Amino acid sequence: MRTQHNRHKSLRIAVTGATGFIGKRLIEEFECEGIEFLVITRNPSNARRLFPKAANILEWHPPEEGLDPTDLSGLDGVINLSGATVAQRWTAKTKDAILHSRVDSTRLLVDAIRGLEKPPPVLVNTSAIGFYGSCDSTQLTEASPPGLDYLANVCKQWEAESQKASASGIRVVNPRIGIVLGRGGGAMTNMLTPFKLGVGGPIGDGSQWMSWIHIDDVAGLLIHSLRNDSLSGPLNVTAPEPATNKTFSKTLGHLLHRPAILPLPVFVLRLGFGEFAHILATGQRVLPKQALAAGYCFRFPKLHEALTEII
């Protein structure tokens, strides 16, 4: 975590999904940099416990209810992190929840801020690298076309809903977030235990690409998106050097002083995750072209450094 204070103008930012893994790390960064924040949440009592320094906490239950635009006046920006987790067994019911928790909440949020006489200048509405679909080793940038699978369709609808805010002169950024690595959540939650026990290894043949990013750089890029007026549209939130699943497994095993040679058969994943297993067994080689062009300096550009800090 950075300990230096920012030299920029103080900001007042609203955050949805603040109690999640990324949200909590983002709020830590806000507090470190002196950014004022208000939290929009389903669980205000939990938010008050987690964020005693919040300027305000608004209770919101999308899609059943909208937001009062007057509660969002005087903001310098909005970061929307809301959405049901993708990392679960996919059924017709969970897939419907994944889609609507993103698209419907974004629609209600955009309607609220567009209803203001003076809307916030920027909306940072997260998306995911699932936008590109499952790919081979092709290098993907923000200019690459969308995929054709379920997750790509979710991301397309999600981003399209947020882009409606641009009609009101709001700058819209869609951070397409990769595989988030950090302590206490994200991809490492279920990954560390088998590796510590010496039974970790690549998924299948391990040739699929993992476009990872350290949680500190996720928070850093979200704040960079708020402050950098040159950024709009898609923004790949991934480290500059993606790794194959085999390289990732080998690096993690080395740092834990454990073997990492036992492959995990894809059919085992299917037993636990159903259709979502396909996402785990394939990958994308995504590059953060826009982030680098906008001058963002990654704190953890290399996998070995990122995993060392985490474990």
Residue range 232-275, pLDDT digits in tens: 999 999 999 999 999 999 999 999 999 888 888 887 778 777 88
Return the half-sphere exposure (C-beta side, CA atoms, 13 A cut-off) of residue 243.
19
CA angle (26, 278, 194) in 5-degree steps: 65
What domains, with CATH codes, occur in the chain?
12-310 (3.40.50.720)
31, 34, 39, 45 alpha-carbon torsion, rounded to 10°? 50
> CB-based contacts of 70: which residues, under 8 Å, 6+ apart?
none
Name the residue among 4, 11, 1, 26 with its Cα closest to residue 218.
26
pLDDT per residue as tens digits for the range 192-247 = 888 888 888 899 999 999 999 999 999 999 999 999 999 999 999 999 999 999 99
- 3-state helix vs strand vs coil in the chain, percent to 5: 40, 20, 40
